[in-house]
A and B are shown apart, each in its own frame.
Chain A
Amino acid sequence: MDNIMKVNLKVWRQAGPKEQGGFVTYENVETTPDTSFLETLDILNESLIEKGQEPIVFDHDCREGICGMCSLFINGHPHGPATGATTCQLYMRRFKDGETITVEPWRSAAFPVIKDLMVNRNAFDQIQQAGGYVSFNCGGAQDANALPISKVDADEAMDSATCIGCGACVAACKNGSAMLFVSAKVSQFALLPQGRVEAVKRVKAMVAKMDELGFGNCTNTRACEAECPKKISISNIARLNREFLKAKLKD
């Protein structure tokens, strides 16, 4: 293997939710530009295990950018310096040889640290459970032309539905607001006829749950859409506001 590069990893280590955490720097971690960031953490973890030390705990699953499990706040950005990509899609060629890379967990009161870089994102599941679904039986797929949907709406709904619920929006927001996530989940249904049936109930339930779980208030800074690995637009937040206000005014 040529092209060996060495980086220093400054990693947040925290033994448990209630323990005091702190940064530990692992110097000269050997990797290559074509190695992914998570694989570099794997390499580091292997060496830690060989030395009899506790490996670094971090969330990951599919490693192809679709499951939403990976997180990590790398060098000041959720999912690292690349845009429109998750941490698992981040490669070491983004960094310089000898660079010190700071790795932190998502920091938000609603996402408490479980251990090291792993945070509890159960709050998102609870918001989804509050109304992020269609509760009636839609039956089998019918002919596409039996229920006409404009291409514009179909595309918008699909874009909204690409949200993987990773929590980068909350991590990036100075207010710890979950509005981008909730708005994407509300929008993917609000734009389609099957979703409209329960639209009023859904938006009220999901916003109520979001507020209850202690997420902050949106102040339209747009940090969320800039850091979102799926490039979810804040036009979804405008739609969420619209849907919510309309629902409340109807009461």
Chain B
Amino acid sequence: MWLFNSSIGKKLIMSISGAFLVLFLLFHATMNAVAIFSAEGYNAICEFLGANWYALVGTMVIAFFVLLHFVYAFILTIQNRKARGNNAYAISEKPKNVEWASQNMLVLGLIVICGILLHLSQFWAHMQFAEIAGTEGGNVAGVADGAAWIRFYFSQPWIAACYVVWLVALWFHLSHGVWSAMQTLGWSNKIWFERWRCISTVVTTIIIAAFIAVVLAFAFHLVPCECTKACCVAACIN
């Protein structure tokens, strides 16, 4: 079928899966930002999602798109390497208009994947997964006490630093990815190209700013501790 055989078809898969993941990130970033203002509000969202059927379906759809995006990135890269040939240029200069990110999407993507794995092991495994498995989530906090988990992890400097590196890589990945997805969909021309590039930068910056704000706010203990449970208090002092 053309979707899997043709070059444009394969790019369409990258484009649609990527665009979907951007929408997911927009949701996730908005949800996270709540944690800065209200631990109670954030935990209410955690409770609402949890291991409810709609959250599980959502998680599976997201996992499917991440996998699809990942697998096709490799299929396309292998083909591209082959098309480039074995002989590299002795001297090759990057033209001025070429974004650095656009030529390093795979590397940036790999950093993003590493970040996702770290993130899943720290949060998802103790929250949604623990709820599915019926375990307690861990000795730090309960499965729906997202605010406590955030405080626990981001108050540890090396973890906060890892998240910042991850998010910066994601910024570069998305700043190219968003307009590139629209270009692949054919939804562009000389005027829309500039518009999409602008939208790309704005959307990416909003998403990453929201994520980083949460990491930094908790890393620098800017969010007052509302919870009085022993576990939270321990993390607060930490």
- A positions within 8 Å CB-CB of B: 10, 23, 73, 75-77, 102, 104, 107-110, 172-177, 179, 207-208, 210-211, 214-223, 225-227, 233-235, 237-246, 248
Q: Are A226 and B186 in contact (CB under 8 A)?
A: no
Q: Most chain-B Cβ atoms within 10 A of its Cβ — which of A76, A174, A221?
A: A221
Q: Are A214 and B90 in contact (CB under 8 A)?
A: no
Inter-chain CA distance A77–B192, complex, in Å, is: 28
Q: Find the A residue at minimum CB distance from B105.
A: A219
Residue in A110, A217, A221, A223 whose CB lies within 8 Å of B7: A217
Pick 16 A–B contacts, CB within 8 A, sort by A: A75-B91, A108-B84, A173-B84, A174-B80, A177-B7, A214-B83, A216-B83, A217-B10, A217-B76, A218-B7, A220-B184, A222-B102, A226-B95, A235-B193, A241-B183, A245-B8
- Give the contacts of B65-124 with A (CB-CB under 8 A): 76, 79-80, 82-99, 102-103, 105
Q: Are A109 and B85 in contact (CB under 8 A)?
A: yes
Q: Find the B residue at minimum CB distance from A216.
A: B83
Inter-chain CA distance A175–B106, complex, in Å, is: 13
Shortest CB–CB separation between residue A127 and chain B, in angstroms?
Answer: 13
Q: Find the B residue at minimum CB distance from A210.
A: B7
Residue in B10, B86, B176, B189 whose CB lies within 8 Å of A238: B189
- Give the contacts of B180-210 with A (CB-CB under 8 A): 180, 183-190, 192-193
Q: Find the B residue at minimum CB distance from A247.
A: B2
Shortest CB–CB separation between residue A170 and chain B, in angstroms?
Answer: 9
Shortest CB–CB separation between residue B78 and chain A, in angstroms?
Answer: 10
Q: Find the B residue at minimum CB distance from A73.
A: B89
Inter-chain CA distance A220–B188, complex, in Å, is: 12
Residue in B7, B82, B180, B190 whose CB lies within 8 Å of A220: B180
Q: Are B188 and A238 in contact (CB under 8 A)?
A: yes
- Any A CB within 8 A of the CB of B11: yes
Q: Are A174 and B84 in contact (CB under 8 A)?
A: yes
Q: Find the B residue at minimum CB distance from A218.
A: B11
Inside 8 A of B86's CB, which chain A residues have their CB?
Answer: 109
Inter-chain CA distance A218–B9, complex, in Å, is: 11
**A223/B94 contact (C-beta < 8 A), A208-B6, A217-B79, A248-B2 known:** yes
B1-21 to A contact mask, C-beta < 8 Å, 1/0: 011011111111000000000
Q: Are B9 and A108 in contact (CB under 8 A)?
A: no
Inter-chain CA distance A215–B180, complex, in Å, is: 19
**Apart from the given pairs A216-B7, A220-B179, A226-B95, 14 other A-B contacts in the complex at a CB distance below 8 Å:** A10-B90, A75-B91, A104-B91, A174-B103, A222-B95, A222-B98, A222-B102, A225-B97, A226-B97, A235-B189, A241-B184, A241-B185, A244-B186, A245-B8
